[in-house]
Amino acid sequence: MSLVIRNADIVTATRRFTADILCENGIITAIGPDLSAPPETEEIDATGRYVFPGFIDPHVHIHLPFMGTHAKDDWTTGSKAALMGGTTTLIEMCCPSRSEDPLEAIRLWKSKAAGKASCDYTFHAGITRFDDSTAAAMQAIVETESITSFKVFLAYKGAFGIDDTELYHTLATASGLGAIVTAHCENAELIAETQKDLVAAGKLGPEWHEPSRPVRVETEGCHHLMTFAEMTGAEVYVVHTSCREAVEVILAAKGRGVKASIETVAPYLTLDHSHAALPDFEGAKYVMSPPIRSVEHQDFLWDALRQGWIDTVATDHAPFDFATQKHMGHPDPEKAVDAEFHPTGKAANFTLIPNGIPSVEERVKLLYSQGVATGRIDLHTFVRTASTRAAEVFGLHPRKGDIVIGGDADLVIWDPAWTGTISAATHSMATDYSAWEGWEITGRAETVTVRGRVMVREGRWCGEAGWGCFLERSATT
């Protein structure tokens, strides 16, 4: 299977030039002008288009039992949606409960993707407790499962959250294995107590989600993680950073020598806290954690991308239906539903709204439309934050995240002149709503390849479930 892309305006994190790209057996084998190609090679003319390396979303949830329900997407729908948006590699957060063994959990999560995923994939292995068996499980995850990143939660007390002793040992063990630890940084105790106070005061709607986990709670969580990383020598990656103060705490720690990377996500760059206050429970569509902040934080995050302070833009894709699952937290007894989506007949509150926004399909469109097309970031920053840095941080570069000879032929031919509208009626995600319903966008992934196979052609799906493969990674030590 051979493919040549002609007249490509190639844009990577550091370079821009015009050339042809020859792809053979899933690999880029030549880059240059007027390339010769084997007989029967498919040719695509990219004149007037950008050609980017396939985009990487380093933070998604596909298989996710959470808050008494289950995420709507599976790997068939989730990976198709990713590819329709130009994302060719997903890194899923494996999130076992505290009662589950982390090694058994990662094998379960792997099985959910095998044979269904259309894009390539790997995982962050969740560590939701640390006991006498955990160090050996972590070693097996690195050495036999070829997964070199872990995930911890400094939130969700009683569910995924770990205590300080568990955090210390998880970081120390990961450091010894040459693995990186990704972390959800808040303060679980502060959240739990604040939520109790708000609910007791009758503050039940989705507009109270953000006040229950304000900026200072996230900032304290980031400071906490940085202290533990500094003490253990662990490399850490802070997921879904939402606010200025959190970024500044991490940057200060990096200045002291802490090995840390920073992620933000598409909702924080494009939405603000007023969305959670929309009437008629519409605000529930925008409940995620940490919460969406006020506009001044959004402006800072764009500047931080431009300055290179933030490494990656992900999604934290967590798809739950509005009409049923989000209504698990409705304060009106006539509209609240239970986990099986039947009326409860009793009032609920914002603490029961499943957290998350379906976004894996929209991330790259939004980053281009709201960032590149408006002049907030340049093309190189766009590629760096949506693809290359994730590959570098998580041990996939230069196989992924770049356009180089010997790299995987994951390519996105991007039409910068295309315009359209985001809508749940046309997206490929399995959810019944879009957080950006009716938003106008500029630019789209016109053609998308995964290891040389065309999966999206002229904006239409032509891929197949099961083409995606698991990406083995090696530790840094």
Residue with tokens 């802070």, as numbered in its chain: 238
Domains and CATH numbers, the chain: 54-380 (3.20.20.140)
Cis peptide bond N-terminal to 33, omega within 30: no
Residue with tokens 């695509």, as numbered in its chain: 44
Q: Does the pTM of the predicted model rise above 0.95?
A: yes
Residue 79's pLDDT is what? Answer: 98
- The Cα–Cα gap between 105 and 95 comes to 8
- The tens place of each residue's pLDDT in the chain, 477 residues long, gives 799 999 999 999 999 999 999 999 999 999 999 999 999 999 999 999 999 999 999 999 999 999 889 999 999 999 999 999 999 999 999 999 999 999 999 999 999 999 999 999 999 999 999 999 999 999 999 999 999 999 999 998 878 999 999 999 999 999 999 999 999 999 999 999 999 999 999 999 999 999 999 999 999 999 999 999 999 999 999 999 999 999 999 999 999 999 999 999 999 999 999 999 999 999 999 999 999 999 999 999 999 999 999 999 999 999 999 999 999 999 999 999 998 899 999 999 999 999 999 999 999 999 999 999 999 999 999 999 999 999 999 999 999 999 999 999 999 999 999 999 999 999 999 999 999 999 999 999 999 999 999 999 999 999 999 999 999 999 875
Q: How far are the Cα atoms of 150, 151, 212, 259, 471 from residue 397, in angstroms, in the given order?
A: 18, 21, 39, 18, 12
CB 426 within 8 A of CB 397: no
Q: How far are the Cα atoms of 65, 326, 335, 433 from residue 323, in angstroms, in the given order?
A: 18, 7, 10, 9
CB 268 within 8 A of CB 207: no
What the block records as the tokens of 399 is 């196989």
Q: Give the closest residue to 411 by CA, choosing from 111, 4, 118.
A: 4
Q: Which residues contact 269 (CB under 8 A, 6 or more apart)?
A: 298, 301, 302, 305, 313, 366, 367, 370, 371
Residue with tokens 């679980």, as numbered in its chain: 188
Q: What does residue 352 show for φ and ψ, rounded to 5 degrees? A: -100, 0
Sign of CA dihedral 200, 205, 206, 210: negative
Residue 157's pLDDT is what? Answer: 83
Residue 60's pLDDT is what? Answer: 98
- The beta strands (E) that lie in 145-275 are given as 149-154, 180-185, 235-238, 260-265
Q: How far are the Cα atoms of 24, 29, 334 from residue 45, in angstroms, in the given order?
A: 17, 18, 57
Contacts by residues 108-113 (CB-CB < 8 Å, ≥ 24 positions apart): 108/63, 109/63, 110/145, 110/470, 112/62, 112/63, 112/74, 112/75, 113/62, 113/63, 113/75, 113/79, 113/468, 113/470
Q: Which residues contact 223 (CB under 8 A, 6 or more apart)?
A: 249
Residue 477's pLDDT is what? Answer: 53
Residue 133's pLDDT is what? Answer: 97
Kind of pairing, strands 120-126 and 149-154? parallel
